[in-house]
Chains A and B, each alone.
Chain A
Amino acid sequence: MLEVSKTMAEPDNILLEVKDLTMDFGGLRAVDSVSLNVCPGEIVALIGPNGAGKTTFFNCVTGMYKPTNGAVMVHPPEGKSQKINGFKSNRVTTIGMARTFQNIRLFKNMTVLENVMIGRHCRTTTSIIGAILRGSKTRRQERETVEISYDLLEKVGLVDVADEFAKNLPYGAQRRLEIARAMATDPFLLLLDEPAAGMNPQETKALDELIVRIRDTEKISILLIEHDMKLVMNISDRIYVMEYGKEIAQGSPMDIRNDPKVIKAYLGEDSDA
């Protein structure tokens, strides 16, 4: 296992390295040469006002969009480094970066447990024929899948509702289920898109703890987009700030709090609201 560092990025010890990422939609430049690094054991936050291009950035990194320019490099703890621009998102996930969605995208008519089991898809190999014959290997995989999934549900506190349909869960629980589902893919980096959106303070606090716990006990690094400043400031090791597609600041929570550009960006937004 790699050494867990809580300090600033060290160039030779990076998991995700995004260089000058640019994404155009028609004439609109949604992301403009943004660079960002995530190191092992870090919780990195990407913040910025609405429409700053954070989710687009996420989508480029996870293969939903093919970036116009720039490079997305991954250096998995095990396995070789590679440039993943334009990889389909299932490949990105298989490499080891799993995400959640801003507007929760669960498999609503499947049970909570099954939602998590889908996460195991890329780590298992049963084919149609295998599923029909249900040989010993298939049975073993299936058993493991169920076990791992139950474990994950336990970690996010959803084991009691494992057989409920996902659509019947309360909002906060749906968010946690998405995290569990993403964790089931055995990622080294978890990308969370506004995990606290719509949560009450209590739920946010629990989420806060959950994220830190994932980092500390599961050894999964985290990149998150968030609006909730309190959460971001509490748990992030480093913060990147975007506005109008550009990166305007980066640094520790303390640095960011005092950065005039950031204050302006947020005050500008606040006076709008």
Chain B
Amino acid sequence: MEYFLELSSSGLVRGSIYALIALGYTMVYGIIQLINFAHGEIYMIGAFVALIVSGVLTIYGFSGISILILAALIAVIYAAAYGYTLEKIAYRPLRNAPRLSPLISAIGMSLFLQNYVLLAQTPDFLRFPALIPDFEFMEPIAHIMGSPELVIVVTSAVSMVGLTVLIKYTRIGKAMRATQQDMTMARLVGVNVDNVISMTFIIGSVLAAIGGVLVGSYIGQINFYIGFMAGVKAFTAAVLGGIGNIPGAVLGALVLGLTEAYAAGYISSAYEDVFAFGVLVLILIFRPSGLLGKAVKQKV
């Protein structure tokens, strides 16, 4: 039983991170039907910026919580800036292009950003400082869930609630929903679609950067390549939940994280990805539009 709890906690943590990244995927997809393959790189860049900022601050004598807050803040700002620029350069000119063209552009951008960080910084893995302190009260159950893990789960949950509120109740949220429903119509009723799309990229990037900082701090290392795998998994999660659907992305991410943890724990970690994708295939066979995706009856 304890083992099960241990695995569940491990899956929950993974799932929370996947969820943060998956949200960006799903939001972008919901609005412009683009698989933004470079989204994982935004997550990586967020983590790198946080690392650099915290390194600089440490050297200049800042300490503890102020580093965490500043590093996270600047990482988020930069990720947003990168997300915004990415959309403007690589996707906006392709708004009316054939459906697969932006996908290729995204793959190219992903390669570019990876190598940009490799060259500008280093190909090596870097130590990411443990920004999250160990809480005393978590000690008794630290072998099941430690403080950093708790922080990850809580932060993810808070971010998601924040996102939901943002989308449900704010002006920009409403505009986003309208654009998602029907871009032409939204434009007709006076929504600035370009701004909405930029905003979507910015919000998605912010979430990814939060994920990057949390993961970096949790596993203690980053390099230029971490975005790729995380991106693929998050994308899988988004599809699993029903791409374009925000609660779906979260649910999909949790299902994926837990599946991987149980597969690694009870079967073999060498095959955990096989199970992750296996679950995806199974779910899609029975629910072709994902867990929460609306079974869109094609209008005939």
Contact present between A and B (CB < 8 A):
yes
Using CB atoms and an 8 Å cutoff, list the residues of chain A in contact with chain B. Answer: 25, 55, 59, 64, 101-103
Q: How far is the CB of A167 from chain B (nearest CB, A)?
A: 13
Q: List 7 A-B contacts (CB under 8 A).
A: A25-B297, A55-B300, A59-B300, A64-B300, A101-B300, A102-B300, A103-B299
A44 to B297, CA, bound (A): 28
A101 to B300, CA, bound (A): 7
A55 to B300, CA, bound (A): 8
Q: How far is the CB of A23 from chain B (nearest CB, A)?
A: 12
Q: How far is the CB of A38 from chain B (nearest CB, A)?
A: 20
Chain B residues with Cβ below 8 Å from A101 are: 300
A102 to B299, CA, bound (A): 10
Closest CB pairs A-B (n = 7): A64-B300, A59-B300, A101-B300, A55-B300, A103-B299, A102-B300, A25-B297
Chain A residues with Cβ below 8 Å from B299 are: 103
Closest to B298 in A: A64
A55 to B298, CA, bound (A): 13
By size class, the interface of chain B is under 10
A134 to B297, CA, bound (A): 39
Chain B residues with Cβ below 8 Å from A64 are: 300
Residues 258-300 of chain B: 1 if any A CB is under 8 Å from the residue's CB, otherwise 0? 0000000000000000000000000000000000000001011
Closest to A101 in B: B300
A59 to B299, CA, bound (A): 10
Q: How far is the CB of A267 from chain B (nearest CB, A)?
A: 28
Chain B residues with Cβ below 8 Å from A59 are: 300
Q: How far is the CB of B294 from chain A (nearest CB, A)?
A: 12
Closest to A102 in B: B300
Q: How far is the CB of A194 from chain B (nearest CB, A)?
A: 12
Chain B residues with Cβ below 8 Å from A102 are: 300
A25 to B299, CA, bound (A): 13
Q: How far is the CB of A65 from chain B (nearest CB, A)?
A: 9
Closest to B297 in A: A25
Q: How far is the CB of B240 from chain A (nearest CB, A)?
A: 24
Q: How far is the CB of A272 from chain B (nearest CB, A)?
A: 22
Q: How far is the CB of B242 from chain A (nearest CB, A)?
A: 18
Chain A residues with Cβ below 8 Å from B300 are: 55, 59, 64, 101-102
A103 to B300, CA, bound (A): 7
Closest to A99 in B: B300
Q: How far is the CB of A56 from chain B (nearest CB, A)?
A: 9
Closest to A89 in B: B300
Q: How far is the CB of A52 from chain B (nearest CB, A)?
A: 16
Q: How far is the CB of A196 from chain B (nearest CB, A)?
A: 18
Q: How far is the CB of B298 from chain A (nearest CB, A)?
A: 9
Closest to A58 in B: B300
A102 to B297, CA, bound (A): 16
Closest to A103 in B: B299
Closest to B299 in A: A103
Q: How far is the CB of B203 from chain A (nearest CB, A)?
A: 34
Q: How far is the CB of B182 from chain A (nearest CB, A)?
A: 15
A100 to B235, CA, bound (A): 37
Chain B residues with Cβ below 8 Å from A25 are: 297
Q: How far is the CB of A43 from chain B (nearest CB, A)?
A: 22
Closest to A62 in B: B300
Closest to A59 in B: B300
Q: How far is the CB of A165 from chain B (nearest CB, A)?
A: 14
Closest to B98 in A: A109
Q: How far is the CB of A49 from chain B (nearest CB, A)?
A: 18
A25 to B297, CA, bound (A): 10
A28 to B299, CA, bound (A): 16
Q: How far is the CB of A90 from chain B (nearest CB, A)?
A: 14
Q: How far is the CB of A66 from chain B (nearest CB, A)?
A: 13
Chain A residues with Cβ below 8 Å from B297 are: 25
A25 to B300, CA, bound (A): 15
A101 to B299, CA, bound (A): 10
A249 to B146, CA, bound (A): 72
Chain B residues with Cβ below 8 Å from A103 are: 299
Chain B residues with Cβ below 8 Å from A55 are: 300
A175 to B79, CA, bound (A): 50
Q: How far is the CB of A169 from chain B (nearest CB, A)?
A: 20
A103 to B299, CA, bound (A): 9
A101 to B298, CA, bound (A): 13
Q: How far is the CB of A120 from chain B (nearest CB, A)?
A: 22
A59 to B300, CA, bound (A): 8
Q: How far is the CB of A177 from chain B (nearest CB, A)?
A: 18
Closest to A193 in B: B300
Q: How far is the CB of B201 from chain A (nearest CB, A)?
A: 30
A65 to B252, CA, bound (A): 29
A59 to B298, CA, bound (A): 12
Q: How far is the CB of A191 from chain B (nearest CB, A)?
A: 12
A103 to B297, CA, bound (A): 15
Q: How far is the CB of A101 from chain B (nearest CB, A)?
A: 6
Q: Mark out the residues of chain B between 157 and 176 whose CB falls within 8 Å of any chain A CB in the assembled complex.
A: none
Q: How far is the CB of B299 from chain A (nearest CB, A)?
A: 7
